[in-house]
């Protein structure tokens, strides 16, 4: 059930969106007023570290414990009262089902009890729209390389709602490749930020083969296997190999992942003739990727955009921004909106 044209009711008052994000292991709430982020609070779930990855059941329980305090904090930091909220936006999918159910149910209950319209947001589209949290903002059309723990996509963005996935991973996501490689080296979860940190003092002197994937799609499973065999063989020759060469291995792994990503991005820019290029998703926090995009962009004559660090990883501000543009279009959903685990639209 879709409900349209709620927007006409309050068109002269400020549009104040309470946004909820709970798709994976971060519980986040934000307040966005007239397209400006007033607050953006994130509770990270430390509980997963001991398991070396996100445990869905643990994530859902932590969302339940976190959601009310995080929303209260977001309202407090924004300096607004519940009565001045105009609509509630929430991540409907994709993500972990149990986690999504917590945010969706909270959003529905909040909207129902305050008589507010509900806006469902697609998490991957919101990562793209994270570019509209601050200036400078990309001009349409632009290409967005969205790289997270669960997704790797090249998206052709025509406007706030018209987006097409023109390339994506056939197996692991880029963030997953970082996390799995880190696990093989004995690093904690999530390993991406740790590899990034260690790579800064390393020399990328180890070469891993590049995958031969046609078109604009990606594959990281071959890289994962070659890292596994490399570490196994080197450790058999010298047991302390990983510890003694950790920074160089991290720099080499990071360089390989960045190369795979930028090769396809360059191809996509050539194919589409679009030179406005953006990065989004948790892996866009990676300093090697950010620097390499800057260098490539300069060489290719691209205009490049990278969101501020807080808007790269999962956050509710991007959900609020996506919700704001849906509000302007009068796109609301009913209380029967159920979460979905997969998909790019919604």
The residue ranges that bind Zn ion (CB under 5 A) are 148, 314
Inter-axis angle of helices 192-199 and 174-184, nearest 10: 70
The 3 state secondary structure assigned to 155-173 is EEECCCCCEEEEEEECCCC
Angle at the Cα of 168 from the Cα atoms of 167 and 172, rounded to 5 degrees: 160
Instruction: Tell me how many residues contact ligand KG4 (CB under 6 A).
Output: 19
Name the segment binding ligand KG4 (CB under 6 A); options: 41-49, 99-107, 188-196, 316-324: 188-196
Secondary structure of residue 79 in the 3-state scheme: coil
Q: Is 93 in the site for ligand KG4 (CB under 6 A)?
A: no
Q: Is 188 in the site for ligand KG4 (CB under 6 A)?
A: no
CA–CA dist 144, 306 (Å, integer): 10
Q: Which residues pair with 154 in a beta bridge?
A: 145, 167
Beta-carbon contacts of 24 under 8 Å, excluding residues fewer than 6 positions away, are 54, 59, 95, 96, 99, 149, 150, 314
Distances (CA, A) of 172 to 154, 168, 178, 291: 15, 10, 10, 23
Could you tell me whether strands 2-4 and 152-157 are parallel, antiparallel, or unpaired per DSSP bridges? unpaired
CA–CA dist 116, 317 (Å, integer): 19
Question: In this structure, are residues 172 and 225 in contact, taking their beta carbons and an 8 Å threshold?
Answer: no
Cβ 126 to Zn ion, closest distance in Å? 8
Name the segment binding ligand KG4 (CB under 6 A); options: 4-12, 164-172, 190-198, 262-270: 190-198
Choice from 93, 150, 202, 320 touching ligand KG4 (CB under 6 A): 150
* 94 binding partner (options Zn ion, ligand KG4, none; Cβ < 5 to 8 Å by kind): none
Cβ 74 to ligand KG4, closest distance in Å? 18
* 285 binding partner (options ligand KG4, Zn ion, none; Cβ < 5 to 8 Å by kind): ligand KG4
Q: Is 149 in the site for ligand KG4 (CB under 6 A)?
A: yes
Cβ 312 to ligand KG4, closest distance in Å? 7
Choice from 7, 19, 20, 24 touching ligand KG4 (CB under 6 A): 24
Name the segment binding ligand KG4 (CB under 6 A); options: 58-66, 82-90, 107-115, 175-183: 175-183
76 vs 309 by CB, closer to Zn ion:
309
Chain contacts with ligand KG4 (rule: CB under 6 A)? 24, 148-150, 175, 178-179, 190-193, 196, 281-283, 285-286, 313-314
């Amino acid at each position: 059930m879709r409900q349209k044209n709620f927007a006409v009711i309050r068109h002269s008052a400020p549009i104040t969106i309470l946004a909820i994000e709970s798709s994976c292991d971060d519980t986040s709430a934000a307040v966005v007023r007239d397209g400006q982020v007033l607050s953006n609070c994130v509770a990270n779930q430390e509980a997963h570290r001991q398991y070396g990855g996100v445990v869905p059941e643990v994530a859902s329980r932590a969302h339940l414990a976190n959601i009310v305090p995080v929303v209260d904090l977001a309202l407090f930091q924004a300096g607004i009262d519940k009565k001045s909220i105009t609509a509630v936006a929430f991540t409907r999918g994709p993500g972990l089902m149990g986690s999504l159910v917590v945010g969706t149910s909270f959003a529905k209950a909040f909207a129902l009890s305050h008589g507010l319209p509900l806006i469902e947001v697609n998490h991957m589209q919101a990562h793209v729209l994270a570019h509209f949290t601050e200036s400078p903002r990309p001009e349409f059309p632009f290409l967005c390389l969205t790289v997270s723990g669960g997704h790797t996509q090249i998206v052709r963005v025509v406007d706030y709602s018209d987006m097409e996935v023109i390339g994506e991973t056939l197996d692991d996501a880029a963030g997953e490749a970082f996390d799995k490689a880190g696990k093989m080296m004995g690093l904690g979860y999530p390993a991406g930020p740790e590899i990034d940190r260690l790579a800064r003092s390393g020399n990328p002197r180890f070469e891993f083969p590049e995958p031969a994937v046609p078109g604009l799609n990606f594959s990281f499973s071959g890289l994962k296997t070659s890292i596994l065999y490399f570490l196994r063989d080197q450790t058999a020759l010298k047991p302390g190999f990983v510890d003694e060469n950790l920074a160089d291995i991290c720099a080499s792994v990071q360089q390989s992942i960045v190369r795979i990503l930028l090769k396809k991005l360059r191809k996509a820019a050539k194919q589409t003739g679009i030179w406005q290029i953006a990065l989004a998703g948790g892996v866009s926090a990676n300093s090697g990727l950010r620097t390499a995009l800057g260098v490539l962009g300069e060489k290719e004559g691209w205009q490049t955009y990278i969101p501020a660090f807080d808007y790269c990883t999962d956050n509710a501000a991007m959900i609020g921004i996506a919700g704001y543009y849906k509000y302007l279009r009068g796109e609301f959903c009913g209380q029967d909106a159920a979460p979905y685990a997969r998909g790019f639209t919604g």
